[in-house]
Amino acid sequence: MADQMSRDTFCSIVETSYIPYALTVCESVRRFDRDILFHVFVTDHSGPFTELEARHPNTRFLSTDQVCASGVALELYQAYRHSSMDSFRQSMKSALMLYLLEHDGFDKVLFVDADLFFYHDFHFLFDALTEHAVLLTPHWRSSIDPSMDFNMFQTIFTDGLFNGGFVGASRRGADAMRWWASVCVRLCVIERTRGLFGDQTYLNLLPVLFEHILVLKHRGCNVAHWNLQDCPRTLVDGEVLIDGRFPVVFVHFTRSTIEGIVNGEDPLLSPHLKDYEQVLLHHEARFDLQRYVRPGTEEPVAPPRKKTWVQKGMDFLRIRTRIRKFLEG
């Protein structure tokens, strides 16, 4: 059971090879709360993680033996664990959150995909769960002005109104999590022609079926390539703001997001990507920016660096030399 001092927690789901990614998003969270608990469910592992947990305090690694022992999590395990690891990983979000709320006794849980990275204090998200049962983030796919990118706008109806890479729930949201898990037991596949996108499109119904569902309007949450039109980035007094007023809380570094940054479509997020890359490499993740560069484009966009006083001095000498040579003919 969770102790009285730690009633809030983050969680994520990965396969063993992606544990470095989970550690990366965890490190970004710990910049704003070094004691926050973080749970990582590893879908292809059974047994304890004694050595790993010893190296990472306040991080708990969960195996299928623990999470999938009974209830709807066991049903999901039986439905997908041996047939589709993608479906198993996607469908287990709700079951993992339910496990932490009911089995471990946490009051509030934030699920985050392992390719998220935080740049701003997140505590307001937990605060929102004091009054609400579930938190959802809209995709913001060219929805304000569909004419700007109508193809992107249309994906709302195939991929879902909300992004499944971030979902929050309090204890009062347990019924919503249980419903979400139960429909995933029946079907968790990507078939856009049928309006199915794994576990994600089922989120469309949560505000209809349940009370106290909060759709987050803070556009600094879940910043990604797909919301470049609706969530414009601006630089204000040295800080990147979304829509001119929202700080970047967390970025969703999907492949399209990274490609947009390194190929110059989303240059203001270059420092954010550099930060993300450094932490990934620190945790020995297999990550190479070069594979995101499109053929025929420039090298990955790097954040501008301030010149040192030595470089400024060399620039001055070069300019003075050119002027002298010009005057001497």
Q: What is the mean pLDDT of the chain?
A: 89
Domain limits of the chain? 8-252
- What is the rounded distance in angstroms from the CA atom of residue 233 to the CA atom of residue 215? 21
The mean per-residue pLDDT over the stretch 234-251 comes to 96
Lowest mean pLDDT among 120-134, 158-172, 292-306: 292-306
- Judge whether residue 216 has pLDDT over 50: yes
Determine the 3-state secondary structure of 253 from DSSP. coil
Q: What is the pLDDT of residue 324?
A: 43
Site of tokens 């090298």? 299
221 has which bridge partners?
250
Question: Please, how many CA atoms are within 13 Å of residue 127, restricted to the half-sphere of its CB?
Answer: 4
Give the pLDDT confidence of 119-159 residue by residue, as tens digits.
999 999 999 999 999 999 999 999 999 999 999 999 999 99
250 has which bridge partners?
118, 221
pLDDT-based confidence at residue 295 (cuts at 50, 70, 90): confident
The mean per-residue pLDDT over the stretch 53-60 comes to 95
CATH number, domain 8-252:
3.90.550.10
Cβ burial 238-264 (10 Å sphere, 16+ → b, else e)? eebbbeeebebbbbbbbebbbbbbbbe
pLDDT-based confidence at residue 247 (cuts at 50, 70, 90): very high
- What is the rounded distance in angstroms from the CA atom of residue 92 to the CA atom of residue 77? 8
Phi, psi dihedral angles at 64 (to 5 degrees) = -65, -30
Interhelix angle 71-80/85-98, rounded to 10 degrees, is 180
- Judge whether residue 261 has pLDDT over 70: yes
User: Do residues 142 and 230 touch, judged by C-beta distance below 8 A?
Assistant: yes
Q: What residue type is assigned to position 216 of the chain?
A: L
Lowest mean pLDDT among 25-29, 80-84, 181-185, 295-299: 295-299
Phi, psi dihedral angles at 328 (to 5 degrees) = -85, -5
Tokens of 120: 């701003």
Give the pLDDT confidence of 18-35 residue by residue, as tens digits.
999 999 999 999 999 999
Q: What is the pLDDT of residue 56?
A: 95
Q: What is the pLDDT of residue 301?
A: 45
pTM of the model: 0.87
233 has which bridge partners?
242
pLDDT-based confidence at residue 266 (cuts at 50, 70, 90): very high
What pairing do the DSSP bridges indicate for beta strands 162-170 and 134-138? antiparallel
CA neighbor of 207 nearest in space, from 161, 252, 154, 174: 161
The mean per-residue pLDDT over the stretch 57-86 comes to 96
The mean per-residue pLDDT over the stretch 75-85 comes to 96
| Burial (Cβ within 10 Å: 0-12, 13-18, ≥19) of residue 212 | middle
Q: What is the pLDDT of residue 45?
A: 86
